[in-house]
Amino acid sequence: MAIHSLILDSFRNHTQREFSFSRGLTVIWGENGSGKTAILEAIHTLSFGKSFRTHKQKELIRNGDESMVARGQFSIGTQEDVIAAQVTKSAGQKFKLNGKILTGRKELIGRNNVVVLSPEEQLVTKGGPIERRQFFDKMFSVSSMEYVEILQKYSRILKQRNAALVAVKENRAPLEELKSWDNQLVVAGSKLWDLRLGFITEFKQNLISMSNRYDPNIQFELFYLETVPTEENYKNKIKTSLKKDIALGRTSVGPHRDDVSLRWDNRDLRSFGSQGEHKLSLVLLKLAEMSFIREKTGIHPTLLLDDLFAKLDLERSKKIVSLLQGLESESGDPVQTIVTTTDILNVENSGLLSGVKESKTYHLER
Ligand SMILES: Nc1ncnc2c1ncn2[C@@H]1O[C@H](COP(=O)(O)OP(=O)(O)OP(=O)(O)O)[C@@H](O)[C@H]1O
Ligand SMILES: [Mg+2]
Q: What is the mean pLDDT of residues 34-46?
A: 98
Q: Nearest Cα to 85, choosing from 154, 18, 137, 8?
A: 8
Pocket test for ligand 1, best of 13, 15, 305 (most atoms within 8 A of CB): 13
326 and 270 together in one domain: no
The neighbourhood of ligand 2, an ion, using CB within 5 A, equals 37
Q: What is the mean pLDDT of residues 24-41?
A: 97
Q: Report which ligand 1 atom has the smallest distance to the Cα of 30.
A: 21
Residue 122: what residue type? Answer: Q
Please calculate the CA angle 334-340-341 and round it to the nearest 5 degrees.
130
Distance from the CA of 38 to the center of ligand 1, in angstroms? 6
pLDDT in tens, 72-128: 999 998 889 999 999 999 999 999 999 999 998 989 999 999 999 999 999 999 999
131 and 223 together in one domain: yes
User: In whole angstroms, what is the distance from residue 76 CA to residue 354 CA?
Assistant: 26
Distance from the CA of 312 to the center of ligand 1, in angstroms? 23
Which of 272, 298, 324 represents a domain boundary (last residue)?
298
Pocket test for ligand 1, best of 31, 34, 364 (most atoms within 8 A of CB): 34
189 and 253 together in one domain: yes
Distance from the CA of 29 to the center of ligand 1, in angstroms? 14
Kindly state the helix (H) or strand (E) to which residue 351 belongs, with its residue range.
none
Q: How far is CA 324 from CA 27, 283, 327, 359, in A?
A: 14, 11, 5, 14
Q: Report which ligand 1 atom has the smallest distance to the Cα of 61.
A: 1
Asked if residue 337 is part of any domain, the answer here is yes
β-pair partners for 340 = 28
> 125 phi and psi, to 5 degrees?
-100, -30
**Residue 13: per-residue pLDDT:** 98
5 and 89 together in one domain: yes
Sign of CA dihedral 35, 36, 37, 43: positive
Distance from the CA of 283 to the center of ligand 1, in angstroms? 23
Which of 254, 270, 298 represents a domain boundary (last residue)?
298
Q: Nearest Cα to 286, choosing from 182, 67, 101, 139?
A: 139
132 and 100 together in one domain: no
Distance from the CA of 217 to the center of ligand 1, in angstroms? 38
User: In whole angstroms, what is the distance from residue 358 CA to residue 122 CA?
Assistant: 29
Asked if residue 319 is part of any domain, the answer here is yes
Which of 256, 274, 298 represents a domain boundary (last residue)?
298
Asked if residue 246 is part of any domain, the answer here is yes
**Residue 77: per-residue pLDDT:** 85
Pocket of ligand 1 (CB under 6 A): 12-13, 30, 32-38, 59, 61-63, 342
Instruction: Identify the CATH number of the domain in which residue 286 sits.
Output: 1.20.1050.90
pLDDT band at 219 (very low <50, low <70, confident <90, very high): very high
Distance from the CA of 98 to the center of ligand 2, in angstroms? 30
Note the pTM of the prediction, 2 decimals: 0.95
**Nearest residue (CA) to ligand 1, atom 30:** 33
pLDDT in tens, 306-331: 999 999 999 999 999 999 998 876 76
pLDDT in tens, 235-258: 999 999 999 999 999 999 999 999
DSSP per-residue string spanning 28-96: EEE-TTSSHHHHHHHHHHHHHSS-SS-S-GGGGBPTT-SEEEEEEEEEETTEEEEEEEEEETTTEEEEE
106 and 147 together in one domain: no
Contact 345, 31 (CB under 8 A): no
Asked if residue 34 is part of any domain, the answer here is yes
User: In whole angstroms, what is the distance from residue 237 CA to residue 86 CA?
Assistant: 45
Asked if residue 121 is part of any domain, the answer here is no
Counted domains in the chain: 2
β-pair partners for 325 = none
Task: Quickly count: other Cβ atoms within 10 Å of residue 235's Cβ.
Answer: 17
Asked if residue 96 is part of any domain, the answer here is yes
Asked if residue 119 is part of any domain, the answer here is no
Asked if residue 56 is part of any domain, the answer here is yes
Distance from the CA of 84 to the center of ligand 1, in angstroms? 21
**Nearest residue (CA) to ligand 1, atom 9:** 12
Q: Provide the domain limits for residue 24.
A: 1-113+300-366
Counting ligands in written order, which one lies closest to the CA of residue 15? Answer: 1
Helices (H), 215-313: 231-240, 242-248, 269-272, 275-297
205 and 330 together in one domain: no
97 and 234 together in one domain: no
As a whole number, the mean pLDDT across the chain is: 95
180 and 205 together in one domain: yes
Instruction: Identify the CATH number of the domain in which residue 334 sits.
Output: 3.40.50.300
User: In whole angstroms, what is the distance from residue 263 CA to residue 103 CA?
Assistant: 41
Kindly state the helix (H) or strand (E) to which residue 323 belongs, with its residue range.
helix 314-331
